[in-house]
Amino acid sequence: MKQRKITEQTEQKVNKKGTSASTMTGSAVKKMKKKLSNTGEGGGAGVSGAGGGESEVGSVGVDREVGATGEVGKAYTADTADCADGEIGAVGSIDEVGEVDEVGGIDEVGEVDEVGAVGEGLHGREKINTYFQAIQKRGENLFVPYIVAGDGGLERLAEQITLLEQSGVAAIEIGMPFSDPVADGPTIQKAGMRALDAGITLEKVLDMLEKTRATRKVPIILMTYVNPIFAYGVETFARRCKEAGVDGLIVPDVPMEEETLLTGALDKFDVAFIRLVALTSTEERMRQLAERSEGFLYAVAVRGTTGARANYEDTVASYLQKLKNLSPVPVLAGFGVSNASQAKELSQHCDGVIVGSTIVDLFHKGKDDQVRELVADSLVRGR
């Protein structure tokens, strides 16, 4: 009874703070832009008051300050804030992707087609596991692109999903635009603002995914923050995810100690809950997160937010190898992976990579061919 009361209080506090894509329009967007530019609050989207945990993000103003830069997406966070075990910090500029020869799409590979053929009957953990295992059996690394839902419109989102599936990706991570994206760097923040300006909401995205579910075979991973889930209703959200064909969920501002706020409903509707782990996590915490993670384990490979990086710390290779030894599910490195060279290098130490900011930027600039080239050139065959 005491735990239920704490949970209800937590939901009430969280619902009072932050603005979700499902409720934010018009003047609220303009106000939020000013807030991003000169904020004393930023990052309030976390689980404010949602209990302890090594990776609490909602305690803004204590662990991190947001820079007043006067430019949307330039509010960098300090090195001391965790993001579901991923630290938040300043980010660098995006790298350009070079020209490479085009490589055929996934339809040319019989084994993945066989997975897709049974994909319609699979959902959640089983679909992710089956799809990943087929790719790994073929001796390839796992490449998961990140895109922002509705950056360019919902029609554009459907086109991007089709293009990426045909390019041979292992899954697609779709980020929901949110007013206070504490884990995101400037490229993704700006993409989220464009989507919010266009009136994109969580409900619209789920509706579109449900309507187009039969047209795709690749697993879909949704990345969002906890406020929109609470505003929508946790169980209703989990049910709609299943109906829409969302196989997995990433929530970067919910630490391990508070994840029971979501896991009951996600288990009920068979939506895989993908955990994040940080470079700074203790080995015991790494072990716990690896054992709990479903679908794959998201290894945050930098001390900071998403965004392109020129290089990585010397300890990243051993960190990824340690996680791979601990984890019963595939380990994918993300945050800062910006080109094919980095994707291949990191894949030597884990099962694959997640690439976000570069793909978001290329899609925004209409460089679809370079997205295909990036995916093709990042795949490692004959592992």
Catalytic residue set: 173, 184
Phi, psi of 256 (to 5 degrees): -55, -40
Rounded to an integer, what distance in angstroms lies between the CA atom of residue 244 and that of residue 318? Answer: 38
Contact 297/352 with Cβ under 8 angstroms?
A: no
Query: 182 in helix, strand or coil?
Result: coil
Rounded to an integer, what distance in angstroms lies between the CA atom of residue 300 and that of residue 280? Answer: 10
Report which secondary-structure segment, H or E, holds 197. Answer: helix 186-197
201 to each of 113, 173, 339, how far by Cα in Å? 32, 17, 30
- CA 380 to chain centroid: 22
Contact 361/94 with Cβ under 8 angstroms?
A: yes
Contacts with 66 (C-beta within 8 Å, 6 or more apart), sequence order? 36, 39, 40, 41, 42, 43, 60, 75, 76, 77
Number of C-beta neighbours around residue 289 at 10 A: 26
Report DSSP letters for 242-274, one per residue. HHHT--EEE-TT--GGGTHHHHHHHHHTT-EE-
Q: What radius of gyration, in Å, describes the C-alpha atoms of the chain?
A: 19
Contact 57/253 with Cβ under 8 angstroms?
A: yes
Which tokens sit at 277?
């782990």
Contact 249/271 with Cβ under 8 angstroms?
A: yes
Q: Any idea of the CA torsion for 208, 355, 136, 219, to the nearest 10 degrees? A: -10
Contact 255/85 with Cβ under 8 angstroms?
A: yes
Contact 71/282 with Cβ under 8 angstroms?
A: no
Return the DSSP state at 76.
P
Return the DSSP state at 58.
S
